[in-house]
Amino acid sequence: MITMGKTIKIISWNVNGIRASVNKGFYELVGKLDPDVLCLQETKAHNEIVEFISAKLDTYDLFVNSALKKGYSGTAVFDRLKTVNHLLDIGIEEHDQEGRVIAVEHELFYLVNVYVPNSGQALDRLGYRKTWDNALLEYLKKLDAKKPVILTGDLNVAHEPIDLARPGPNYNKSAGFTQTEIDGFKGFLGMGLVDTFRHLHKDKVQYTFWNQRFNARANNVGWRIDYFLVSERIIDKIKDSFILDDIMGSDHCPVGIVMEV
């Protein structure tokens, strides 16, 4: 049960392999950040491996969703807020093979942790991505009809030109900044979700992902593709939305919110 009148901190991070992150200070980082809920994407490990790694974080309940394919995709949620229920996937077989969605139900909201499919270097998966975005949108609408939604994770799209360092050369040419993907993101906004970071930091330029090639992180040639979106009716509860771009260990950095409950 969530104690009313307090704040909670939720952190989201694409770790690019949970086993690798353990060797890069994962436990120490979780201890330092001390989140009430930690959402991970791209765990790249089957359930039993994530469960073994989580044993040291015994103050949290663990919910894990792994891909059928070994070493690929996968999501996990570490939660100490005492959940009401949790749901894996979105109930469509075509989209439920890669461990991309965990919804954790609390008294006051649904927290949905997602790892949205990448459209591929040659945009060969862009058509599937459009189908996936539409299916996720319908799933979120059903949850939002019951109680407010917090959507977090690697959404694999830079929504506006301010959200990537080089919008011109990438528009409609690179995965993550095609009009199809932007329109998919606009669908989430259109159903009544609000981008918390942009709501609180209208003109701030800060990124969450850097290509591992071309010295991109050192030169801060990045993308903001990791988000917290919340139902508009609880946006006034969001007291902070932040990007921890000084934290290494992955090609993504953690993002978070502080929420009043």
> Active site residue: 36, 79, 89, 115, which one?
115
As a whole number of angstroms, the distance between CA 196 and CA 138 comes to: 21
The tokens describing 29, both together, are: 């980082």
As a whole number of angstroms, the distance between CA 224 and CA 170 comes to: 14
- Give the gyration radius of the chain's Cα atoms: 17
The tokens describing 151, both together, are: 């959507």
Cβ proximity of 81 and 36 under 8 Å: yes
As a whole number of angstroms, the distance between CA 105 and CA 86 comes to: 6
Q: Is 133 a catalytic residue?
A: no
Question: Angle at Cα 196 formed by Cα 192 and Cα 202, nearest 5°?
Answer: 110
What is the largest distance, in Å, between two alpha-carbon atoms of the chain? 49
> Active site residue: 36, 133, 144, 154, which one?
154
Reported as half-sphere exposure (CB side, CA atoms, 13 A), residue 179 has a value of: 1
Q: Is 115 a catalytic residue?
A: yes
> What positions carry a catalytic annotation?
115, 154
